[in-house]
Structure 1
Amino acid sequence: MPLPNFGQILRALDRFTRHEQVVLSALAVVIGGIGGGSAIAFREGLGAVQLLFYGFSSERVVTFIAYVAWWHILAVTTLGGLAVGLFVEFLMPGKRPLGVADVMEASALKGGRMSLTDGIRAALVSAVSLGAGASTGREGPVVHLGASVSAWVAKRLRLGRALSQTLLGCGVAAAVAASFNAPIAGAFFALEVVVGHYSMTAFTAIVISSVTGTIVSRIWFGDFPAFIVPEHQIASFLEFPAFAILGLVSAATAIIFMYSIEISAKVASKAPGPAWLRPAAAGLAVGLIALVFPQVLGVGYEATDTALRGQYALWMLFG
């Protein structure tokens, strides 16, 4: 049987690449790699900022902060807040931080379009804030950065609205999966929160990106779970109603917490003085709290692990 010539191979590749699902799957692999790389870059950048501020680079802040002087903690949280305030005031669009809500808005109202420059700026602000000790969470900035990079790729390829939204979901899935080492969580977060539907086209691409992002993360950091959940044996079916009640209580707690954040933001917006000074005041407050409860500093993974093991009193969790 004669081998195909070069022209036949090119024609076969041309027919192959005209299939939208094939092209989207290939793009999903690329976006997954880029999204995973973005999550790695953010974590390493956060570690560098933390090393600069505190002299150590670790998510186990509670363990290492005990060796840092009290005045050092107050100075870092206050000056870090000041740096964030100045950055947001003079470099961020709308003079406000960016996060997951902006990704949802881009998907729903802007056809998946986002600014890569704004994404990088938002990541820098978040890295400084978290590195200084603000417990603002690592996942929001990683989601925004992954979405910004995927939106930039979609723009360069001049993709339509539907494909751009799908790639946005791919970037988010890869970023979440790489951050938590959890491909299933990354995929469903992107489908539920960003894309908003479960079409087979979007589902396939997002799962591919999520798995790719996880692989990239595991190559760099190793295969370690974000949280170590203690094993629990169900002794009786009577426990299931208790789980349902626990779900209701947890949901109510989350809702109350979200409302408390909104109320705090409104109160802070009415504080006297320029807006760029408010993060410095907040940083000082965080530093003072951290002198008694160091668990409030940083990404909070160590404190979450301790809570999952049931080693905190209930009053401390609500305090």
Structure 2
Amino acid sequence: MKGFFKLFVLPFFVGAIGGFSALFMRELIRYSSKLAVAIDFFNQDSRFYLVIIPILFIISAFTIKNFLNNPTNPTIDSVARSIVLKKGRLDYKKGIATVVLSAINIGFGVPVGREGPIAKLGGSLSSLFLKGMRFENFNVPLLVSCGVSSALAATFNAPIAAVIFGLEIILGRLSFNVIIPLTISSAVGVVISRYFLGNYPAFVVPQLSYNYKLLFLIPLFAFLFAVVVYVFEYVFESSVNFFTKLNLTFYSKALIGGLIVGVLLWLWPDAASLGYKQVSYLFSLKYSYADALMLSLVKMVALAITFASGMFGGIFAPSIFGGAFFGYALGGVIHNFFPFVNPLDVALIGTASISASISSAPFRSTLIVAELAQNYHMILPLMISSVMTVYFSHILQDKINFSRSAMQKGFDLMNEKYRNELIKVKVVNFIDPSIMSLKREQFIKDIVFELMNSSSSYFSVVEDDRLVGVLSFRDVRLVGEFENDKVKVKDIMTPNPNYLTLDSSGLDVFELLSHIDVDYIPIVENDESLRYMGMLDVNAFLKFVSFLYFKENLFRKEEVLKREGK
């Protein structure tokens, strides 16, 4: 009965919390929009943005600095990192304040999304609920993940994508005890959303179909979508550097950013707020290709400047907008050369591709778009383009593509200072000389007891001082498939194994651990000689880099205590 409570009852209540969190956010946005209309002294003229956006940025800066203690922007992925790294302990006060602040900004036209703040609120209130109930022996990160997934399911009206979010971003594993709670909570969130808001898509898309020849053009589309994301990242980083060089105060930065965004929205008012209504208009063919291209670029630039100014908001809705409008313009150009290309198909592909690239989560983005648009038969081009766009984005931006696997181990590689510390770590300091190496011609029966008594379950196979393979206990289990006892190491070993070199850094270790899950890793002198140097002790390495992770805060606190005489 306890299992039923953990798998079904608790996720049901957490799902309700997430569902009502989404409703709360959407109602706040609706009332904020009404308030904006009521005080609009320009009678719904876009000049209103010239005044109201800088004011909102200043108010937001004051709130963030004085009441939220300068937290990070609550995007969906940052919420996921908080759940993993803080083991589900989220601050509900910051969650509520973030939602209220973001809802007001969105209602008045700030070009950000609502999804990140909703995820933050759903997770924070779920964490508060679990803390208040004082449940023992429960998986708090899993249940908080259920709260986030249900909030996203209610937001997007997309239960399948919400479950995938929990599996792909937060938890990173599949099991009976994970899938059931995520499914229950996501379903409850969607039921609440559909009961109060109706079963409607976030934006209206006609039933699309595509010619299979379109698939051959997807690499081109994906590359160009990756370029758009590159431009967004470039504008964001350039804006941050610009504000840094000017040595501006937090309020000055907010004011300048607000003025720039206000001018952009004055000139292109359709780029304001969430933009789902404009996306629906796009799929109704109410924009020219030139207007669509301009609006996509304005939206992404305005979003980058908004974030660089220190403002809050989600990134998914703007990426949907930017992908749809840029994809439509791109499809219009390609249609002149290849008439079988429907610009609306490319627009829908763009929504998934750009959001996938920004979040580095192609599967989740594909499903969200397919469910949002209720165009499931478009899932093949959506999926292919999303994966390829993520690939091209990592090449163009030289991104770390293994940060998520490290996050699931409790290490935040998105932290630049920590990455720099890891680069300084040399693997030679973690070589364990006690781990035996093997020869190709050794009989398994002659060494099996030595293998069993070793602290490692992973052994290097060395010939003439060169690494030629590895042998694991998983390989040893293959002995049972042989009909005789003359099985040699070379018969079951894994040739051409993964390895590190003496020049490898801590980041290289994490990259390798994203591919294999082992307790020891072979180290060679260099890639040319493959001269075997020993085995890296993974547990010793993780202990050391864990110390690197918290040493700055730990010793800073000690210095403060000494100064205070405590």
TM bucket (normalised to shorter chain) is: 0.7 to 0.9
Alignment map for 1:41-56 (pairs within 5 Å): 41-55=24-38
Alignment of 1:135-150 (within 5 A): 135-150=111-126
Partner in structure 2 of residue 121 of structure 1: 97
Q: 1:295 aligns with which of 229, 250, 270?
A: 270
Say yes or no: does 1:23 pair with 2:23: no
Opposite residue 123 of structure 1, the aligned amino acid is: V
Q: Does 1:318 align with 2:297?
A: yes
Q: Structure 1 residues 188, 49: CA separation in 2 closer, same or farther (over 3 Å shift)?
A: same
1:176 partnered with 2:156: no
Structure 2 unpaired stretches of 5+: 299-566
Q: For residues 130 and 95 of structure 1, what CA distance do their matches in structure 2 show? A: 19
Using a 3 Å threshold, how does the CA distance of structure 1 residues 55 and 253 change in structure 2: closer, same or farther? same
2:59 maps to 83
**Paired letter, 1:54:** V
TM-superposed deviation, 1:248: 4.4
What is residue 273 of structure 1 aligned with on the other side? Answer: 248
Alignment of 1:211-226 (within 5 A): 211-226=187-202
Q: Which moved more, 1:93-102 or 1:104-113?
A: 93-102
Residue 171 of structure 1: CA displacement? 1.1
Q: Is the 8 A contact 2:153 2:189 kept in 1?
A: yes
Structure 1, 205-214 or 182-191: larger mean CA deviation: 182-191
Counterpart of 2:64, as a letter, is V
Does the CA contact (< 8 Å) of 1:88 and 1:276 recur in 2? Answer: no
Per the alignment, residue 185 of structure 2 pairs with 209
Question: Partner letter of residue 261 of structure 1?
Answer: F
Quick one: distance in 2 between partners of 1:98 and 1:269? 22
Does the Cα contact within 8 Å between 1:107 and 1:113 map onto a contact in 2?
A: yes
Q: Which runs of 5+ in 1 are unaligned?
A: 1-15, 57-63
Q: Which is worse superposed, 30-39 or 160-169?
A: 160-169
Alignment partners' CA distance in 2, 1:23 and 1:47: 36
Give the TM-score normalised by structure 2: 0.48
Query: Residue 196 of structure 1 corresponds to which residue in structure 2?
Result: 172
Contact map agreement 2:150 2:189 (CA 8 A) in 1: yes
Deviation at 1:27, TM superposition (A): 1.1
Q: Are 1:156 and 2:132 counterparts?
A: yes
| TM-fit CA distance, 1:284 | 2.1
Does residue 1:106 correspond to 2:82, yes or no? yes
In the other structure, the counterpart of 1:240 is 215
CA contact (8 A) 2:47 2:266 kept: no
Structure 1: how far apart are the matches of 2:94 and 2:126?
13
AA in 2 matched with 1:41: F
Letter of the structure 2 residue corresponding to residue 318 of structure 1: L
What's 1:227 paired with? 203
8 Å Cα contact 1:169-1:191 kept in structure 2: no
Cα distance in 2 for partners of 1:259, 1:71 equals: 28
Q: CA deviation at 1:71?
A: 4.2
SS state at 1:238 partner? helix
Q: Which has the higher contact order (CA 8 A, sep 6+)?
A: 1
User: Given the two structures, how large is their TM-score scaled by the length of structure 1?
Assistant: 0.82
**Residues of 2 paired with 1:28 and 1:247: CA distance?**
38
The number of residues matched between the two structures is 294
Q: Distance in 2 between matches of 1:200 and 1:259?
A: 42
C-alpha distance 197-307 of structure 1, shift in aligned 2 (>3 A): farther
Q: Given the superposition, is the C-alpha separation of residues 65 and 227 from structure 1 closer, same or farther in structure 2, using an over 3 Å criterion?
A: farther
Q: C-alpha displacement at 1:159, in angstroms?
A: 4.6
Label 1:167 to 1:271 Cα distance change in 2 as closer, same or farther (>3 A): farther
CA distance in 2, matches of 1:306, 1:162: 47
Secondary structure of 2:70's partner?
helix
- Secondary structure at 2:113's aligned position in 1? coil
Shift of 1:170: 0.7
- Structure 1 residue 166 corresponds to structure 2 residue 142: yes
Instruction: Point out the structure with the larger helix share.
Output: 1
What corresponds to 1:6 in structure 2? Answer: none
Residue type matched to 1:193 in 2? I
Say whether the 8 Å CA contact 1:88–1:96 is kept in structure 2. Answer: no
Report SS of the residue matched to 2:111: coil
Deviation (angstroms), 1:203: 1.3
Residue 304 of structure 1 corresponds to 279
Would the alpha carbon gap of residues 55 and 103 (structure 1) be closer, same or farther in structure 2, given more than 3 Å must change? Answer: same
Deviating more after overlay: 127-136 vs 260-269: 260-269
**CA shift digits 1:112-132 (9 cap, x unpaired):** 111111111111221222123
| Greater share of strand | 2
The answer as to whether partners of 2:14 and 2:143 remain within 8 angstroms in 1 is yes
1:35 has 2:10 as partner? no
* Alpha-carbon separation, structure 2, partners of 1:258 and 1:102: 17
Q: Summarize deviations over 1:118-158 as a string: whole Å, max 9, x none.
A: 11111122122212321111111111111111111222234
Larger radius of gyration: 2
